[in-house]
A and B are shown apart, each in its own frame.
Chain A
């Protein structure tokens, strides 16, 4: 399975943009890049996913490098409710989702 590498933790000030990096140098051409986040004491929730082009939705933006070996999840204006563990996961089709250790994001008021 292609693996992802994320920093263990990051901090950001409230109301500022946050860029969460993910490296996936062994990604295959058919792997989608998915991001999920887990708020404290809750199940994970879907954030965004993409294949090659950058993607935007109401929660975040996903910037994918041209060679697809890395990607960045962008929260445009962090709030305290964005404090969570963010997981970058590679997925092909309907295969099972395997979680790594993720990045614990702390928002500083």
Chain B
């Protein structure tokens, strides 16, 4: 079945540095990928919709200059958390939909800890 791979699964970084998270669709092409963030004991919050070959669409309240999204190919989207701060520590999850209107497939998430 369709698989979405997310890397890294865990990352610890120092405050002020940038972190890149990769999301790959392994056996299908995804023109659209979605990025979510989840704080402890809370539900997933959609951050942005990543469109291949064009600019991402950000949800209200999400800073596009802080969370840079690049969707350079049909199988890869990246999320870069720039100048990370402790409040950016969270569980980041990507998802993609295979062609044909199939359900969304999710990566296993990246736990970011900013010290």
The chain A residues found within 8 Å of chain B, CB to CB, are 34, 36, 38, 41-46, 49, 85, 87, 93-94, 96-102
Contacts and interface: CB of A to CB of B under 8 A. Distances in A.
Contact of A98 (B46, B105, B106, B109): B46
Contact of A43 (B45, B95, B103): B95
Contact of B103 (A42, A46, A85, A93): A46
Contact of A49 (B46, B91, B103, B109): B103
A107 B13 CA distance: 36
B93 interface: yes
Interface residues of B, number: 24
Contact of A97 (B4, B101, B104, B108): B104
Given A34-B103, A43-B108, A99 B43 contact: yes
Contacts of B67: none
B46 A97 contact: yes
Given A87-B43, A97-B104, A101-B43, 12 more contacts: A34-B103, A41-B111, A43-B109, A44-B93, A44-B95, A85-B43, A96-B46, A96-B49, A98-B46, A99-B43, A99-B44, A99-B46
Given A94-B97, A96-B34, A102 B109 contact: no
A36 B97 CA distance: 14
Contacts of B97: 94
Contact of B6 (A38, A43, A85, A99): A43
A47 to B, nearest CB: 9
16 contacts: A41-B91, A41-B111, A43-B6, A43-B95, A43-B108, A43-B109, A44-B93, A44-B104, A46-B104, A49-B103, A87-B43, A94-B97, A97-B46, A98-B46, A99-B43, A101-B43
A5 to B, nearest CB: 14
A54 B107 CA distance: 28
Nearest to A102: B43
Interface string B89-115: 001011101000101111111010000
B77 interface: no
A13 B109 CA distance: 29
